[in-house]
Amino acid sequence: MSAVRHVRRAAAGAAVVVSVAALATGPAGADRAPTGHGSAFGLSANGPVSVPVISAVASHGKPAERSLVSVPDNPLLSAKVLHTNAEKAKARASVADVLIKKLKLKANAVTAKCTQGMGSVDLVAAELDGKRLAVSPSPNSALHADLGPLGKATVTLNKQTRNADGTLTVTAVEARVPVAGKMETVTISSATCGKEQAAQPAPQKPGGPKAPKPTPVHHDLPVTG
């Protein structure tokens, strides 16, 4: 609850903060995400090397879109052309020319899509340590890489997390890599969406007799043709 409130206060000033908080915590149960929520971000890294959330968008009914052509220089990863968009119950994040040197992870394009609370991932020419990765990996596909003396890394493809408010977060690639003796978490292409509230039924009340078939009555009413 407090995280969400914080996000709402901060929203006017910093769109990046909005997505960071919303995606990191998910709106609390009592303060549910609005119907048709959608948000996305291109990439982020948390750990010894900090790359802030890049190309974040959030939509609460209105379409939002963002594109960037590069990420800030850093020793961990590089990428070009980050495109994110979000609209009602829909979000998409795509990052091109991804390279995480330490992991030998590269891809021409990494895309996460979320539609009506359902997620999918597309990986174009993605490789981990020289091995080609599936174009459409199954949800939560975990891969492990031994980096020798540096330690072991874990790469999760198509990571799907159901949030407390019912929205789904799909992350195309999440890598946990040892850096300087600590774990670094790199997130590439993440999209979060809820279901458009198509059915919000009125009072579900089983029972009650079946409403009668009407008997047409002989009557005239001028209507709007």
Partner 1 sequence: MEGFLLHATRAVAGASAAAGLIAVAATGCGSSGSAASADEPSSASGAAKARPVSAAQLARLPQATTFGTVRGAPVDPEPSALLDGTVLHPAKDTAVYDKPGGKPIAALPAKQLKGPTWVPVIAEKAGWRQVLLPSRPNHATGWLPGGGDVKEATSSYRIDVSLKQHRLTVTDGGRKAGSWPVAVGTGKNPTPTGRTFVLASLSPSHPTYSKLIFPLGTHSNSLDRFGGGPGTVALHGWPDQSVFGRDVSHGCVRMPQKALDTLASVPLGSPVQIV
Nearer to partner 1 among residue 13 and residue 222 (C-beta): 222
34 CB-near residues (< 8 Å, 6+ apart)? 60, 61, 194
CB of 94 to partner 1, least distance (A): 29
User: Strands 37-46, 168-179: parallel, antiparallel or unpaired by DSSP?
Assistant: unpaired
Tell whether residue 2 is a contact of partner 1 (CB under 8 A).
no
Q: Tell which one of 30, 144, 146, 213 touches partner 1 (CB under 8 A).
A: 213
CB of 225 to partner 1, least distance (A): 5
Amino acid at the residue 133? L
Tell how far CA 38 is from the center of its chain: 8
Query: Stretches 13-21, 95-103, 122-130, 199-207: which one binds partner 1 (CB under 8 A)?
Result: 199-207
Nearer to partner 1 among residue 144 and residue 219 (C-beta): 219
Tell whether residue 197 is a contact of partner 1 (CB under 8 A).
yes
Tell whether residue 209 is a contact of partner 1 (CB under 8 A).
yes
C-alpha–C-alpha distance, residues 48 and 23, integer Å: 21
C-alpha–C-alpha distance, residues 42 and 91, integer Å: 11
Nearest to 107 by CA among 27, 161, 175, 32: 175
Tell whether residue 116 is a contact of partner 1 (CB under 8 A).
no
Number of residues that bind partner 1 (CB under 8 A): 28
Tell whether residue 34 is a contact of partner 1 (CB under 8 A).
no
Tell whether residue 72 is a contact of partner 1 (CB under 8 A).
no
**What separation in angstroms does the CA of 184 have from each of 121, 149, 170?**
22, 16, 19
Binding residues for partner 1, per CB under 8 A?
197-205, 207-225
